[in-house]
């Protein structure tokens, strides 16, 4: 499904190229209309080997022929110097140092790792929700020591956070602030990478715990749905006031997340109940319309990887389901169903998102596309 384009292709690099997220980056970028894969970086075990030899390929599509013979590089900026964009699928235990070094070397890093998500100058961007947060990048570059011209880090969110903030953003856009949110997840094993979850732990079973996941959902949701505000006009950064992420501070948002691992290969499912500030709250019908008609800026701006329909609302009582709906639009959108009144809060519904597509690699890629369209990265 090679997409066409008039632009000369931009060279991109992939860090952590042999991992689960890295493989998904390769699958998606090998047919991307704007990008051409230029460099692959991985750990010392793989350096110097052809990619096909270095990787334990675990995608259900076959390996793109373009990368089979590419020699895997060390994760150092030199080999990536020509890359307009560097995507990172690195593990958290190494991502911090490597991504810092790439930024310092004036490279534009779009990372799926969690290391910088809580950094006060790094935007945490779900591209179908808050690409406007990329505006903080000027401050990130200016405050770097030494100040940077082009180097920066953009992160995308945890796969579960991504799934539910998209409908939540659509609802806040239409109906104003949400006050309280209760979410229970049923997450796919692919969310844990490879080898990830041992089969003895999950066949005929559910594990009601994923380390750190509930905290991530509760914290990241506030950063993404919140705005950016000036800290103190008296402390300017260049000619602008120092800014900060306001964490949805104007209307405090209480969130309780409960996370479960289920025997599903791909597709995170969530049961969500929300309480709005607004009285009376919207009806289920109004909620469905708000979700279906949501058009995020990434789509309006023409990001090629943004889905045509951001939120697909199901009317059947038993949908969405991971196996049936995860592949819709190549996993770039989210599916919502069972929108109904909640006897405790206002509205409850079900969300499904492909955790390896919009939940991971696809989000990084749309973030980069948006940055190019906005001139933040030179295209």
Interaction of residue 69 with a second copy, rule CB under 8 A: no
- 3-state class of 346 per DSSP? coil
The DSSP line for 111-155 is E-SSTTTT-TTS-B--TTT-GGGGGGHHHHHHHSSS--SS-EEEE
Please tell me what DSSP assigns to residue 232: E
Q: Smallest gap, in angstroms, from Cβ of residue 127 to a second copy?
A: 24
Selected range binding a second copy among 11-19, 26-34, 131-139, 174-182, rule: CB under 8 A:
174-182
Residue 141 or residue 326: which is nearer to a second copy going by CB?
326
State the number of binding residues for a second copy (CB under 8 A).
59
Closest CA to 209 of 221, 193, 197, 224: 197
Residue 169 or residue 189: which is nearer to a second copy going by CB?
189
- 3-state class of 66 per DSSP? helix
Please tell me what DSSP assigns to residue 260: E
Helix 213-225 vs helix 159-175: angle between axes, to the nearest 10 degrees?
30
Q: Which of 264, 358, 365, 371 binds a second copy (CB under 8 A)?
A: 264
Residue 24 or residue 121: which is nearer to a second copy going by CB?
24
Interaction of residue 60 with a second copy, rule CB under 8 A: yes
Element (H, E) at 292: helix 284-292
Interaction of residue 263 with a second copy, rule CB under 8 A: yes
Q: Which of 190, 299, 355, 363 binds a second copy (CB under 8 A)?
A: 190
Residue 169 vs residues 130, 166, 205, 226: alpha-carbon distances, Å: 9, 5, 33, 10
* Dist. CA 292–CA 314, nearest whole Å: 10
Residue 140 or residue 221: which is nearer to a second copy going by CB?
221
Q: Which of 61, 65, 145, 285 binds a second copy (CB under 8 A)?
A: 61
Interaction of residue 135 with a second copy, rule CB under 8 A: no
The footprint of a second copy on residues 72-131 (CB under 8 A) is none
Q: Which of 258, 277, 286, 309 binds a second copy (CB under 8 A)?
A: 258
Residue 7 vs residues 32, 33, 34: alpha-carbon distances, Å: 12, 8, 7
Q: Which of 206, 231, 249, 308 binds a second copy (CB under 8 A)?
A: 206
In degrees and rounded to multiples of 5, residue 88 shows phi and psi of -120, 120
Interaction of residue 300 with a second copy, rule CB under 8 A: no
Closest CA to 213 of 196, 192, 197, 230: 192
Edge-first strand order for the sheet with 334-341 is 254-261, 178-187, 268-276, 347-353, 334-341, 311-313
Interaction of residue 336 with a second copy, rule CB under 8 A: no
Interaction of residue 293 with a second copy, rule CB under 8 A: no
Interaction of residue 168 with a second copy, rule CB under 8 A: no
Give the Cα-Cα-Cα angle 102, 87, 351 (nearest 5 degrees).
Answer: 135
Q: Smallest gap, in angstroms, from Cβ of residue 46 to a second copy?
A: 18
Interaction of residue 277 with a second copy, rule CB under 8 A: no
Selected range binding a second copy among 31-39, 191-199, 282-290, 371-379, rule: CB under 8 A:
191-199
Q: Which of 256, 283, 293, 301 binds a second copy (CB under 8 A)?
A: 256
List residues with catalytic annotation. Answer: 159, 268
Site for a second copy, rule CB under 8 A? 58, 60-62, 180-182, 184, 186, 189-190, 194-209, 211, 218, 254-256, 258, 260, 262-265, 269, 271, 273, 317-324, 327-328, 337-338, 342-345, 348, 350
């Amino acid at each position: 499904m090679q997409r066409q384009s008039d632009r000369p292709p931009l060279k991109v690099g992939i860090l952590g190229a042999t991992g689960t997220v890295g493989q998904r980056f390769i699958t998606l970028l090998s047919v991307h209309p704007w990008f051409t894969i230029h460099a692959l970086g991985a750990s010392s075990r793989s350096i110097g080997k052809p990619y096909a030899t270095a990787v334990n390929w675990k995608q259900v599509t076959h390996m793109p022929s373009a990368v089979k013979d590419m020699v895997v590089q060390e994760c150092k900026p030199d080999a990536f110097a020509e890359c307009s964009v560097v995507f990172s699928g690195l593990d958290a235990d190494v991502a911090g140092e490597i991504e810092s070094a790439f930024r310092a070397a004036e490279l534009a890093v779009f990372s799926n790792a969690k290391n910088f998500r809580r950094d006060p100058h790094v935007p945490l961007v779900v591209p179908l929700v808050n690409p406007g947060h990329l505006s903080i990048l000027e401050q990130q570059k200016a405050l770097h020591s030494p100040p940077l011209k082009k180097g920066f880090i953009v992160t995308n969110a945890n796969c579960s956070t991504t799934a539910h903030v998209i409908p939540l953003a659509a609802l806040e856009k239409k109906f104003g602030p949400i006050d309280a949110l209760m979410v229970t997840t049923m997450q796919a094993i692919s969310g844990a990478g490879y080898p990830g979850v041992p089969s003895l732990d999950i066949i005929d079973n559910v594990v009601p715990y994923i380390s750190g996941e509930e905290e991530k959902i509760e914290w990241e949701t506030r950063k993404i749905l919140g705005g950016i505000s000036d800290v103190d006009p008296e402390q300017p950064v260049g000619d602008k006031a120092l800014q900060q992420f306001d964490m949805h501070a104007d209307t405090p948002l209480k969130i309780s997340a409960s996370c479960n691992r289920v025997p599903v290969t791909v597709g995170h499912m969530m049961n969500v109940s929300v309480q709005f500030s607004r009285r009376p709250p919207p009806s289920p019908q109004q909620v469905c319309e708000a979700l279906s008609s949501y058009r995020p800026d990434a789509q309006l701006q023409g990001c090629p990887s943004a889905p045509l329909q951001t939120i697909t609302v199901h009317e059947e009582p038993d949908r969405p389901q991971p196996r049936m709906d995860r592949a819709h639009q190549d996993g770039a959108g989210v599916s919502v169903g069972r929108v109904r009144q909640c006897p405790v809060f206002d509205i409850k519904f079900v969300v499904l998102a492909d955790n390896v597509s919009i939940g991971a690699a696809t989000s990084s890629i749309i973030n980069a596309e948006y940055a190019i369209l906005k001139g933040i990265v030179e295209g």
